[in-house]
Amino acid sequence: MVERRLIGLGFGLLVVGSAFLFWSLRAPYGFILELRATKLVALVCVGAAVGAATVLFQTVAMNRLLTPGIVGFDALFILFQTLLVAALGGVGAAQIPGALRFVLETLVLMGAAAVLFGVVFRRGRGDVTRMILTGIILGVLLRGLAETVQRMLDPSEFAVVQQAMFASFGRVDPGQLGVAVLILSGALAIAFRLSPALDVAGLGRGTARGLGLDHDRIVWATLLLVAAMVSVSTALVGPVTFLGLLAASLARLVTDTHRHAVLIPAAALTGSVILVAGQFVFERLLSGQSALAVVVEFLGGLLFLFLALNKGRP
Amino acid sequence: MIRIERLTYKVGPAAILHDVDLRLDAGGITALIGPNGAGKSSLLHCIAGLNRPAFGTVRIGDLDPFAAPGSLRARAVALLRQSPAVVSRLRVRELVAFGRWPHHRGRATPQDDAVVARALEIFTLEALADRPVETLSGGQRQRAFIAMTWAQDTPWMLLDEPLNALDPRHARDLMVRLHDLSRAGDRSVIIVLHDINAAAGWADRIVAMKDGRVAARDTTAALLTPETLGAVFDTPFEVLNTGGRPVVVAR
Amino acid sequence: MARALVCSALAGLVLVSLALGAASLSEGGGWLLMASRFPRTAAAVLAGAGLALAGVVVQQVVQNRMVEPSLTGTPEAAMLGLLAVTLIAPGSPVAVKMLFAAACAMAGMAGFLALADRVPQQDPMLLPIIGLVYGGILGAIATWFAWYSDLLQYLGMWRLGEFSGVMQGRYEWLWVVAVLAVLLYVVADRITILGFGEAQARSLGLNYAQTRTFGLVVVSLLTALVLVTVGAFPFVGLVAPNLISRWRGDNLRTNLAWIAVFGGALVLAADVVGRLVRYPFEIPAATVFAVLGAAVFLWLLYAAPGRSHG
């Protein structure tokens, strides 16, 4: 039953994906198809990464309202990119091959996120809301820091950072995309293997430990996975705050289950469908594109309010 | 048998348990009583391997709950915490099924399903099996969690104030069931009770705690004297006898 | 002692701010001082004071210490208003723009209060999160319109408060902050009572709804004034009142002046730091403040469990 819904989601992705590829296709076919295919892969990657990362993060944070974006995961990533350019200079940073740089940035983000958010989780145990607030403020702090460092850069170096920050789907570096696909599939596979343990972790720290789960280790492992997925999405399109919330909530709604073996793929598929469908509508039908992020933010924000206010009712 | 030696547990600088030495024999129901803040819950969490003590040792049979891998510990001792909360949106059957996780670690067998079905039956949860846990009343939820603890199928069951939120009928039913389980031979129950009369009615042994220390321990009949209770709770008590059962009344 | 410290710190900052700039004072002399340095310094102090006051009032109104104007959607609503005026009547005078922005800010604030009334009280940390997201939604609408009408650049300017453009003739509206501060001082006791909650306030004979509305109007005006003249400054309204309240308690009658002075000093300090770090270039004061303010806020969150829970 649940599996049928997963297949349905996969079918949906297939439909919007083909629409994205073949709608009003004109000559030169090969060139345009290649362009669109690259974009499609990037969109699917970002949607899957954000959706799955959000489900994982919500489980270890014990909260359905949080997303990695809200607590500043992506800000951390951008801060590191900026620091890299600041340390090596724009030319130096540009000399490192895109794929290698991406891997390095991902590793650094994983380490930093595990330390930073690990500490927050440790301290915030038992007081979930304070933890959320800490995360949000941490996000503001990290964004402010990144911005300050950017202001310290020369204009030419700043341009390098800015390009890294706002890489649009149009100019996806195929080398980088390849690495992104690799990292993402690795992270998804590990997450999938961990899913029974994640089911238990979702019961809360006390209950999970009572059942013999090494809860702290699962939290660390999950944070590492989330960091890897967030670097994939942030490197490809920049920060997207509420897409994850939208994807995770819809996936829960559609599958109506707590099992991560279903939830993780469902959220990944939902995120991809939202992005591809949105991009299709905006790019092919309305012939505009930078507004997609704004619309996703808007809808995601509304959903957040709806969830938060309904939570308060018995 | 559970052996606790020189156990000291601290939260920050404050010692919650001081130098506790205690032996608890297998079989039967052991009740932990004592005033608020006496350290009953902390002791229970230490036995379950969830609170790491500053000094001292705990042994459940031969097992050291702090050194043993989680899956082994969770098959030796099951703890029902006070007012457990669950964020995941689970149905009752799914929640109870998590009690089997230490046994299968993710791959449930038909045997596990049978234990879950039996747990639902024992705690009269069949009618509620497909209800989401968050839609249950406090007492129903409590029963679902107790069923989950039972399904963990451990030699020792530790229950922290399980009678909270239960109406008199379900409270009595639970105590009767625990009594039967502990008589059947393979389960030993340690239970924190707020209501001294519940302990008086059903427990085989009582451990009374005060200020992080064991103040008294004995068989139920021997411990429930006005002197002992008065010293533990700093309140005068009268112990009456109704139909062979002690009944404790605060004066 | 502490009093003298705050005052001398402010005085020192003012002097540094007056002396600091790309052109030397000895060449430009008095004219430079009057046309650029003094207005800039005054604008920073007034903006900081205004936001700090707005912060303390909104905290009393919703009885939650973790809230501040930028966590209520008010600046975003003001931005929407400003955007609308710029679209409909680009040539209208500043006063009209200001008033329209203030009116929109009020509507945004009213929306937030309506949300706040529906948020369960027992969780004091939930409201700021709700406010943040509410602001995010309004912000997304504003971005959408700006993007549609090619005004994104304006939006960027409003979003990031800074003082490099402040000159004589372009900041004077901020003196209204001083007027509002005096007004607030007059009704300080009532605002304090608002913080006790509706039932208690009523039993003390306060006209609750009226006072609440008054608070709403003042907060919206203050936020809109600062936004239109120098841009948005998150966190000032949170940090200044909370630090003062840790130091001196919660009686507004005796605290209001300190909150204003402290807020002014903080923003001026952020501006001075922003001018110094990469001299002669500048880092926007709001960016500097985001870093400093966020750090202070985190400290508050963990160092003050008793008070910060409101």
Which one of A63, A64, A192, A207 makes the best mutation probe of the B interface by having the most chain B beta carbons within 10 Å?
A207
pLDDT: is B202 or C277 the higher one? B202
Task: For chain A, say whether B138 makes contact (Cβ under 8 Å).
Answer: no
Low-confidence ranges of chain C (pLDDT < 70): 1-2, 22-29, 121-125, 303-310
Task: Tell me the C-alpha distance between A250 and C251, whole Å.
Answer: 47
Which one of A211, A254, A255, A257 makes the best mutation probe of the B interface by having the most chain B beta carbons within 10 Å?
A211
Peptide bond into C75 cis (omega under 30): no
Task: For chain A, say whether C31 makes contact (Cβ under 8 Å).
Answer: no
Give residue A250's pLDDT: 85
Strand runs labelled E in chain B: 2-11, 14-24, 29-33, 55-60, 77-80, 156-160, 188-192, 205-210, 213-219, 237-242, 245-250
Task: For chain B, say whether A211 makes contact (Cβ under 8 Å).
Answer: yes
Partners of C276 on chain A (C-beta within 8 Å) are none
For residue A105 the two structure tokens come to 């940035």
**Does the beta-carbon distance from B106 to A197 stay under 8 Å?**
yes
3 state SS for chain C: CHHHHHHHHHHHHHHHHHHCCCCCHHHHCHHHHHHHHHHHHHHHHHHHHHHHHHHHHHHHHHCCCCCCHHHCCHHHHHHHHHHHHHHHCCCCCHHHHHHHHHHHHHHHHHHHHHHHHHCCCCCCCHHHHHHHHHHHHHHHHHHHHHHHCCCHHHHHHHHCCCCCCCCCCCCHHHHHHHHHHHHHHHCHHHHHHHCCCHHHHHHCCCCHHHHHHHHHHHHHHHHHHHHHHHCCCCCHHHHHHHHHHHHHCCCHHHHHHHHHHHHHHHHHHHHHHHHHCCCCCCCCHHHHHHHHHHHHHHHHHHHCHHHHCC
Cα pseudo-dihedral C59, C60, C62, C67, rounded to 10: 10
Task: For chain A, say whether B12 makes contact (Cβ under 8 Å).
Answer: no
Instruction: Work out the burial of residue C111: count CB atoms within 10 Å of its CB; fewer than 13 is exposed, 13-18 middle, 19 or more buried.
Output: middle
Low-confidence ranges of chain A (pLDDT < 70): 90, 121, 123-133, 155, 158-172, 287-291, 311-314
| CATH code for residues C44-301 | 1.10.3470.10
Out of A132, A140, A308, the one facing C290 most closely (by C-beta) is A140
Helix (H) or strand (E) holding A188: helix A174-193
Give residue C297's pLDDT: 76
- Domain ranges in chain C? 44-301
Give residue B70's pLDDT: 84
- Domain ranges in chain A? 2-309
What letter does residue B75 receive in the DSSP assignment? H
Å from C278 to nearest chain A CA?
A: 7
Compute chain A's Rg from CA coordinates: 19
Task: Tell me the C-alpha distance between A33 and A38, whole Å.
Answer: 9
**Does the beta-carbon distance from B98 to A258 stay under 8 Å?**
no
Å from A272 to nearest chain B CA?
A: 24
Partners of B73 on chain A (C-beta within 8 Å) are 212
Out of A62, A64, A207, the one facing B84 most closely (by C-beta) is A207
Average pLDDT, integer, range B173-202: 90
| Residues shown for chain C | 310
Of C186, C135, C184, nearest to C159 by C-alpha is C135
**Does the beta-carbon distance from A305 to C133 stay under 8 Å?**
yes
Confidence of residue B121 (pLDDT cuts 50, 70, 90): very high
Task: Tell me the C-alpha distance between C153 and C164, whole Å.
Answer: 16
Task: For chain A, say whether B93 makes contact (Cβ under 8 Å).
Answer: no
The pairing of strands B245-250 and B237-242 is antiparallel
Partners of A199 on chain B (C-beta within 8 Å) are 88, 98, 101, 106
Task: For chain B, say whether A2 makes contact (Cβ under 8 Å).
Answer: no
Cβ atoms < 10 Å from Cβ of B143: 25
Tell me the one-letter amino acid at A226.
V
For residue B38 the two structure tokens come to 């006496």
Partners of C278 on chain A (C-beta within 8 Å) are 151-152
| CATH code for residues A2-309 | 1.10.3470.10
Q: Considering Cα of C180, then C181, then C183, then C184, what sign does the dihedral take?
A: positive
Sequence-ordered list of residues with C-beta below 8 angstroms from that of A31, at least 6 positions apart, any chain: none
Instruction: Work out the burial of residue A50: count CB atoms within 10 Å of its CB; fewer than 13 is exposed, 13-18 middle, 19 or more buried.
Output: buried
Give residue A311's pLDDT: 58
Interface confidence: ipTM more than 0.90: no
Show the DSSP H helices in A96-152 as ranges.
Answer: 98-124, 128-152
Confidence of residue B5 (pLDDT cuts 50, 70, 90): very high
Give residue C217's pLDDT: 92
Give residue B175's pLDDT: 92
Q: Is the pLDDT of residue B212 over 50?
A: yes
For residue C179 the two structure tokens come to 């007027």
Of chain B residues 59-78, which have a CB less than 8 A from chain A? 69-75, 78
Q: Do residues A116 and A229 touch, judged by C-beta distance below 8 A?
A: no
Å from B149 to nearest chain A CA?
A: 9
Please list the residues that pair with B63 across neighbouring strands.
Answer: B60
Task: Tell me the C-alpha distance between B200 and A150, whole Å.
Answer: 71
Confidence of residue B150 (pLDDT cuts 50, 70, 90): very high
The count of CB pairs under 8 A between chains A and B is 67
Neighbours of chain B (3+ CB pairs under 8 A): A
Task: Tell me the C-alpha distance between A96 and B136, whole Å.
Answer: 58
For residue B138 the two structure tokens come to 């406090």
For residue C62 the two structure tokens come to 């919703």
3 state SS for A223-264: HHHHHHHHHHHHHHHCCCCCHHHHHHHHHHHHHCCCCHHHHH
Give residue A314's pLDDT: 34
**Does the beta-carbon distance from A137 to C66 stay under 8 Å?**
no
Q: Is the pTM of this model over 0.90?
A: no
**Does the beta-carbon distance from A212 to B107 stay under 8 Å?**
no
